[in-house]
Amino acid sequence: MSENFKLDLARRPRRLRQMAAIRSLVQETWLRKEDLIAPLFVMDGEGAKETVGSMPGVYRLNIQDLVAECTALAELGVLAIALFPSIDPSLKDEQGTEADNPDTFALRAVKAIKKAIPELIVVTDVALDPYTSHGHDGVLDENGARVLNDETVERLCRMAVLQAEAGVDIVAPSDMMDGRVEAIREALDVSDHEDTAIMAYSAKFASAYYGPFREAVGSAQAAGTTQLDKKTYQLNPANRREAIADALLDDEEAADFLMVKPAGPYLDIIRELRNETALPVAAYQVSGEFAQIHAASQKGWLDYEKCRDESLMSIKRAGADLILTYFAKEIAASL
């Protein structure tokens, strides 16, 4: 090549990449600790924390240890936690009746958190799968073959009111039953909990990425498999238009937040939903996404911190305002 060779370019995009300071100056997307919600698992009793084998660094915590973990998160600047109970198998039945118990340990955990750290936002799952012996998110018909929509929604309304009475700030129906957002909103309002917000799992897909979570809450143990078939109520991973239509129904039914779950495999859904709604959009970086980054890094195949950070930045760049992630504590500590 000639030593005098020079391209005649007016625009050279690399000008904005040549220095770290310039790259920061023009960076379009930023991840803040205020964007993070930390999912936590709580169990009954006073036993030592239990490791979730498929989720390194994630534990089932008794209420005392849960409050300590919430305190640590709040001190790091994390504003919200999402709470999921791991129910003793002896309390599970086909109807998930423990979910109707106003003194169930999950609600006692909420009260303990709000007493110790009242400023911490508590989000709770509104779904029956942690409580049912079959592991489904709703009530089954008499043949055990079909999840009943309206009967399930009635139960979810009761759960949401109990959670609000315990001091929950945001209830999060994750069941994907038709009409449940409007019904829960009405139930909360008539019981004088009009200030309790709803974060709807609006585009929740029938994903293979939920396996480690099902181990953590025990729904896999109840069902005998981490691959429980929920395709009659969760979304088909192949369907983009259906996902957006479902999510916008939750918008019409007065949800306060819309959520896409999982996050990483569905960045296109996050972006399109962000373009279609004025509501805050949340995305759940699920257990399988968390586990695969850990597994690949343990093999030496990926750089753990760089892949962790890139995965979260991509979710934020796609349009998520909030991210539920098991990386929340370490990310908050690093920011």
Burial 150-169 (b: 16+ CB within 10 A, else e): eebbebbbebbbbbbbbbbb
Q: Of 92, 204, 230, 329, which residue is the catalytic one? A: 204
Neighbours of 4 (CB within 10 A): 5
* Model pLDDT for residues 19-49, shown as the tens digit of each residue: 999 999 999 999 999 999 999 999 999 999 9
For residues 322 and 37, is the Cβ–Cβ distance under 8 A? yes
**Catalytic residue check, 204:** yes
3-state DSSP call for residue 71? helix
- Exposed/middle/buried for residue 239 (C-beta within 10 Å: 0-12, 13-18, 19+): middle
pLDDT at 221 over 70: no
The pTM of the full predicted model, rounded to 2 decimals, is 0.95
**Catalytic residue check, 115:** no
Q: Of 92, 114, 230, 261, which residue is the catalytic one? A: 261
What are the residue ranges spanned by the domains of the chain?
A: 30-334
Residue 145's pLDDT band (cuts 50, 70, 90): confident
At residue 133, the pLDDT reads 92
* Model pLDDT for residues 48-102, shown as the tens digit of each residue: 999 999 999 999 999 999 999 999 999 999 999 999 999 999 999 999 999 999 9
* Model pLDDT for residues 187-211, shown as the tens digit of each residue: 999 999 999 999 999 999 999 999 9
Neighbours of 233 (CB within 10 A): 18
CATH superfamily of domain region 30-334:
Aldolase class I (3.20.20.70)
